[in-house]
Structure 1
Amino acid sequence: METVIAFIEEFIAQEYKASVALTTEPDLHLLETDIEILNQFFQGLDSGLNISSSRTLEEQDRVIRQLQPRVLFQIKQYAHSTLGTIYRVYLSSTFREDRDYFTNFYIANTGKGLKIVARYHICNTCNGKGKSADIICDECHGFGWKWRGGQQLNILGTLVTVRKFEPPIDGQHLQEYESV
């Protein structure tokens, strides 16, 4: 678990650096390098950060006031039937003051070491609950999260352990956080 924690903390720092640079760094070569480093954390998908041909530069202080490094809430370790050990990492968005679930990254040990192999975002319709008005959510089909790239992981396997870092503020997310 400690290596996964170090991996995700390094990812969070690199993502924040690249996100700020995306609209503040005038040197395209440096920006491309930051994004390449970030994309090395992934397998089968990428970070989603791309350099727009129409990008405009902003003041770094302004961008820093709008963004934050993602908040790490918890990591759940599972014994998956085909991937072996996988880690489900609960994170916020990169927008300043966000303290709720937004993204799940799934991390697995690959031939190239630890990599993010899947990305899911919280379902906007049911807010991660899997149900809307006591009916299975049509948007996420009861999972509570929507697949956004990489491997589709419909069955996670047996929960092995949970490591908690910071509780989310949304009541529903907090209830899930405290349930394990």
Structure 2
Amino acid sequence: MVKRRSYVLACAALAMMVALSACSSAAEEPTGETEKVDTEVSSGTGEQATNEGASEATTSAVTETEGTTAPAGSDSDSGEEATAGTNELPENLPSDFPLPEDATIRLANSGENEGKQSAMVIFTTEQDMQTVSELYKDYFDAKKLTNAGQTIDDKNIIIQGTDPETQDVWSLIGGALASQEGVIELTLSWTES
């Protein structure tokens, strides 16, 4: 079960790495034609704004209520909650997980599946990639992750593995946003064993 979960996590990390590298390549080599879809959370309406002439995309509507967002039609009793635009980490994420000082959390959700807690956080920072990489390399090196893999360069960071003490599975994937110069977006996944 743990090997299967690690395999699925490794596949997800590989897919994210390919997607991130494609984004950074697209930013370096403009094609002349760009498609842009802007989405906004509209307070209470669930409507999304899009640019005219943009390609169609499948999206789910998002509603906003007092600082929390959830996909329209979702069951709020499922134990998952997403908080947008705050600096609050999910309650069940280990409290020692560090955030850069200027971090803006775009999505934070947590839940429970078959009695096991999990959390996902998407956040951005304007710190440089070297500073961010050192912060998380030091954090995960201190945990001495097993079944671990790391890819760290000047554009991307991928760290994943299993905490040998708790058997918790960690995955951190991030890179520079092509749409916002000087901004790094990171996605953290954590699942307890």
- Greater RCO structure (CA 8 Å; 6+ sep): 1
Higher helix share: 1
With normalisation by structure 2, the TM-score equals 0.24
Q: How does the TM-score come out when normalised to structure 1?
A: 0.26
